[in-house]
Amino acid sequence: MVYLVCSSSSPDAHTRYNLQLMSSPTEPNRPGGYALPTGALQAQRRAKRELEQADIHLLGDAAKPHEPTKGRLKAAHSARNPNTRVYVGDCRDVLAKLPERGEVDLIFADPPFNWDVPYESWRDGMSRAEYERFTFDWLDGCIEALSPTGSLWVNIPDDTAAEIVLHLKRRGLTMINWCVWHFRFGQNRDSSFIMSKVHALYFAKDPDQRIWNPEHIMELSDRASVYADPRTMAKDQNKGLRLPMDVWYGKYWGRIQGNNKERRHQHHNQIPEVYLERVILACSNEGDLVLDPFLGSGGTCTVAKAWGRRSIGIEHSAVNAKSAWERIQAGMVRQGAAVTPTEEASLNRRRRSD
């Protein structure tokens, strides 16, 4: 539940902000007589200051915040080359004790959705206020763990996406993209339209200094693969290629179920490797530190390790953590599925030479 209240210091601030948003160029400034808008990211930059000062109230704010436990951290599983660690416990406790607080380059979080899923050792049926408070607490822990150039991705369904976006904005992060992971095999129902998507929210501490490697994740453009448009092949760079759009689907992008080679039995709601590979290659470099506060089946650390990133996984269940560690040691099933066609050989050569 969301309440938005204007800053009491200046009731006209939001009016001025809205006028700013409407002040994008109106004179034609590109071929064909169109005006080029400043774009969503520029609007997010302008919004950041106002949102930090706004008096935003969310239902979970009234619930008591979590108080992290004290004591030393000890990894349940660890390995070197690259350094990979898995901790067992409540991520709110582990994040507060991490020696690398403020040094994590990329966080990918796929939290429990509070849908009464029978997870091992986790109660997935909190009250709404309690669940929002839980969400804000682990998000705050992630924000404190991020480096100044770090990025945070959150995989979340419709019912909590808005609350997460508002909380991260009021904490001073900038939204880079609101992506959608689309899958065709949704759970059948007759009471409403079948759910076939989850939101992939991409935030950064500093949008201008964030780690960003677009060249690693490009794909064939429709101009090249469908329309044979000669203009795309006439470009100086990335001929016939483009960055992925913000709705993600296609080969290997479906839900992990049945006889899927990536499936880990006894694990719920796995993320496809191609999804994690796109995020990790785009938003981290070799040797960087990647963290997953809800490790689950171990996908994030598995992909990070395969591409030479250090990683930390946090899992509430010791049973799931053991299974995830087995997967991390076994390695990826579909490495390279998200890589730019012209980049795959170069990236693999670089990994082998290190």
Query: What's the domain count of the chain?
Result: 1
Q: Average pLDDT for residues 130-147, to the nearest whole number?
A: 97
Residue 51 lies in a domain: yes
Tokens describing residue 329: 């040691």
Q: pLDDT higher for 323 or 27?
A: 323
Q: In this structure, what CATH number is given to the domain that contains residue 333?
A: 3.40.50.150
In angstroms, the CA 148 to CA 161 distance is 24
pLDDT of residue 27: 58
Pairing of strands 104-109, 146-156: parallel
267 — pLDDT class (breaks 50, 70, 90): low
- Cβ 230 vs Cβ 240: under 8 Å: no
Q: Which domain holds residue 324?
A: 2-21+36-353
Q: What pLDDT score does 224 carry?
A: 78
Distance CA 240, CA 226 (A): 11
Q: What is the pLDDT of residues 88-116, one digit of tens each?
A: 999 999 999 999 999 999 999 999 999 88
Provide the pLDDT for residue 259. Answer: 73
- C-alpha–C-alpha distance, residues 160 and 154, integer Å: 11
Please determine, for residue 74, whether its predicted confidence score (pLDDT) is greater than 80.
yes
- Above pLDDT 90, what percent of the chain? 60
Question: What average pLDDT does this structure show over 67-94?
Answer: 96
Q: What is the pLDDT of residue 353?
A: 56
173 assigned to some structural domain: yes
Determine how β-strand 84-88 pairs with β-strand 310-315.
parallel
pLDDT in tens, 226-249: 888 888 888 888 888 999 999 999
The mean of the pLDDT values for the chain is 85
β-pairing verdict for 241-242 and 219-220: antiparallel
- Taken in order 93, 206, 350, 341, is the CA torsion positive or negative? positive
Q: What DSSP element (H or E) covers 160?
A: helix 158-170
Other Cβ atoms within 10 Å of 19 Cβ, number: 10
Cα–Cα dist 227/140, whole Å: 46
Helix 273-283 crosses helix 299-306 at what angle (to 10 degrees)? 50
Q: Does any domain span residue 26?
A: no
Q: What is the pLDDT of residue 23?
A: 45
How would you classify the pairing of strands 247-248 and 174-182?
Answer: parallel
Residue from 214, 195, 209 nearest 281 by CA: 214
Q: Classify residue 225: in a domain, yes or no.
A: yes
* Mean pLDDT on 258-277: 80
The answer to the question of residue 29 being in a domain is no
115 domain-assigned: yes
Beta-strand relationship, 77-79 and 84-88: antiparallel
Q: How many CA atoms lie within 13 A of 120 on its CB side?
A: 19
Cα torsion angle, 145, 149, 155, 161, sign: positive
**Cα–Cα nearest to 303, from 332, 327, 336, 272:** 332
* Peptide bond preceding 82 in cis form (omega within 30 of 0): yes
Contact of 51 with 14, CB cutoff 8 Å:
no
10 Å Cβ neighbour count for 53?
14
pLDDT given for residue 94 in this prediction: 98
pLDDT band (50, 70, 90) for residue 270 = confident
Query: What integer is the mean pLDDT of 300-328?
Result: 96
d(CA 23, CA 12): 17
* Burial of 311 per CB tally in 10 Å (0-12, 13-18, 19+): buried
Average pLDDT (183-201) is: 86
Element (H, E) at 289: strand 289-292
The pTM for the full model equals 0.84
In degrees and rounded to multiples of 5, residue 135 shows phi and psi of: -65, -45
Q: Does residue 28 lie within any of the structural domains?
A: no
Q: Has residue 27 been placed in a domain?
A: no
